[in-house]
A and B are shown apart, each in its own frame.
Chain A
């Protein structure tokens, strides 16, 4: 899948908060169909990296390119529309809305309609609603949440909330999916199901995936490549086996586990 232009490429990405350099000169690149893990101790810059790529933060220096186009100055919603979807640490659902509405709200991104369509009840609106529904139902089926479709999202068990957030991100039809600690708070069997789910999503939708995660089992089994951050600097990048073997990585990160 490696074409001339990678799906996502950052270069020299730097973010400074006051006197703290949260991320310094970070570069990463990935192609469609690839899963890349980003690991590092707390405060190593993983979340900053996520927020820089998705537009929630602006870099002090460096570039983020999606399919070759710089996006680091765009607003988050614009970046989402260009095809980067994300989840959040600790989930951010539309808690008061139903499970189905959470996914519909995201699915309608790919099926635009206007207010006038709604007021006049045009055939286009009905077609949009049908398409949005079909897409939402399919995605809920993917994570076994269809039977909870009409429950309030905030009332779901935690593991279900995380998987709902994942399919909500997927509903926007992204080319790059960014998962921020998807396995946090999950037990071993839930983590295994999550691993299968992410692998299936990668194959089914042919998208690039970036995962930030503390669960080393998940990361090592899921990722094609891993980048290790520590104190905002890139320590190492390589295959899971290489990461596990690398002495500096063991020292800064794995050693503390």
Chain B
């Protein structure tokens, strides 16, 4: 395809998406719209997690730590001043009198995560394999404890509330498009090639002039930015949350979406998000109990988590590289044309 045709195709695609996002609430019921918003936010988070975990092979379990920081930072900044005065009376004066809107606070959330990721990643990205996973889990725990104890800023374990619920479907979808475009361009460019080289063999990567630490760190930091952005979107979607909203349960959800979809693939991340979300929503209805004809199924609390856990285990055993592995779904493939089978 020539450049102009591709640009045109991209513009048309964006226009259709925008129209769909804006008019979806008129067609779909509220519940469907909410599911779509959450899917978009989770897709931002899972694809940015794939950057480090899948493409550079540094399996972080601390991603949700950045999500939490993004949510709280943007929440504090975007809280209307009156609400701030009553909910967070002990805030330092420079913060107490400072209010910025949804978009700037979201970007600020991402940037704070960038700074944090540099500080955390510089020592951690030297580690490999299981060590880095355990260490990033440590980071998640630290973030959680700090959020609970920094109650001047976060209200501690109590619910942080009053954030304007501004994450509409167009916002969530818009950020998802930005995330995917940025990540795809980086991943399928020389930088991404360096990521995969370092993932495959750190020694050989050094022998062709790639420094392992800066390479991994750049992926970690970029992933953290979008984690922060996703956290802000999530915060502005929920309106109120607490430290436990961003802890192990959410971590497990994101990691299973990533692993089920395929770690080394951006479209795989999306597939994982859609599959796990649909499944969770179906099972959630099951959890409440229902009547099938004359049979009454009692409520099965926790069923969603259990089934997700079982599916996760099945994938680990039978398809550890996930549904797509490190392949990308392509339009030609979706339309039934044979892919040129180019592995990148």
Question: Taking beta carbons and an 8 Å cutoff, which residues of A are in contact with B?
Answer: 54-56, 75-78, 80-81, 85-86, 88, 92-98, 101, 104-106, 108-109, 111, 113, 115, 117-119, 121, 125, 128-129, 132, 150, 152, 168-169, 171-172
Contacts and interface: CB of A to CB of B under 8 A. Distances in A.
Contact of B196 (A85, A94, A118): A94
Contacts of B190: 108, 111, 113, 118, 125, 128-129, 132
> Which of B204, B205, B326, B341 counts the most chain A CB atoms within 10 A?
B204
Interface string B100-140: 00000000000000000000000000000000000000000
Nearest to B182: A119
Contact of B185 (A81, A86, A119): A119
Interface string B191-210: 11110110111011111111
Given A118-B189, A129-B190, A97 B207 contact: no
Nearest to A107: B208
Given A93-B201, A94-B197, A94-B201, A115 B206 contact: no
Given A108-B190, A121-B185, A132-B190, A168 B200 contact: no
Contact of B203 (A88, A96, A104, A118): A88
A125 B193 CA distance: 13
Nearest to B208: A106
B193 A108 contact: yes
B342 interface: yes
Interface of B: 182, 185-186, 189-194, 196-197, 199-201, 203-212, 218, 222, 326, 341-344
Given A101-B196, A115-B191, A119-B186, A92 B203 contact: yes
B342 A80 contact: no
A101 B344 contact: yes
A117 B196 CA distance: 19
Closest 7 CB pairs of A and B: A118-B189, A94-B200, A80-B209, A92-B204, A76-B206, A106-B208, A109-B209
B208 A85 contact: yes
Contacts, number: 108
Contacts of B186: 115, 118-119
Nearest to A115: B191
A54 B194 contact: no
B197 A77 contact: no
A20 to B, nearest CB: 22
A113 B189 contact: yes
A54 B207 contact: yes
A172 B200 contact: no
Contacts of B189: 113, 117-118, 125, 129
A76 B205 CA distance: 10
Given A113-B191, A117-B189, A118-B190, 16 more contacts: A80-B207, A85-B207, A85-B208, A92-B203, A94-B201, A94-B204, A96-B200, A97-B200, A101-B193, A101-B196, A105-B193, A105-B194, A108-B194, A119-B185, A128-B190, A129-B190
Contact of B218 (A77, A95, A115, A169): A115
Contact of B204 (A88, A115, A129): A88
A97 B203 contact: no
29 contacts: A54-B207, A77-B205, A77-B211, A80-B209, A85-B208, A86-B207, A88-B204, A93-B201, A94-B205, A95-B201, A96-B199, A97-B197, A101-B196, A105-B196, A105-B205, A105-B210, A106-B208, A106-B209, A109-B209, A113-B189, A113-B190, A113-B191, A115-B186, A115-B222, A117-B189, A125-B190, A128-B190, A150-B341, A150-B342
Nearest to A76: B206
Contacts of A77: 205-206, 209-212
B209 A81 contact: yes
B344 A98 contact: yes
Contacts of B326: 96
Contacts of A80: 206-209
B211 A75 contact: yes
B343 A169 contact: no
Contacts of B200: 93-97
A21 B140 CA distance: 45
Nearest to B194: A105
B344 to A, nearest CB: 6
B193 A104 contact: yes
B121 to A, nearest CB: 15
Contacts of B218: 115
B320 to A, nearest CB: 13
A97 B209 contact: no
Contacts of A109: 208-210
A130 to B, nearest CB: 12
B178 to A, nearest CB: 10
A75 B182 contact: no
A103 B134 CA distance: 34
Contacts of B341: 150
A105 B197 contact: yes
Nearest to A91: B204
A93 B344 contact: no
B206 A93 contact: no
Given A105-B194, A108-B190, A75 B343 contact: no
A188 B207 CA distance: 28
A223 to B, nearest CB: 22
Contacts of A86: 207
Contacts of A106: 208-209
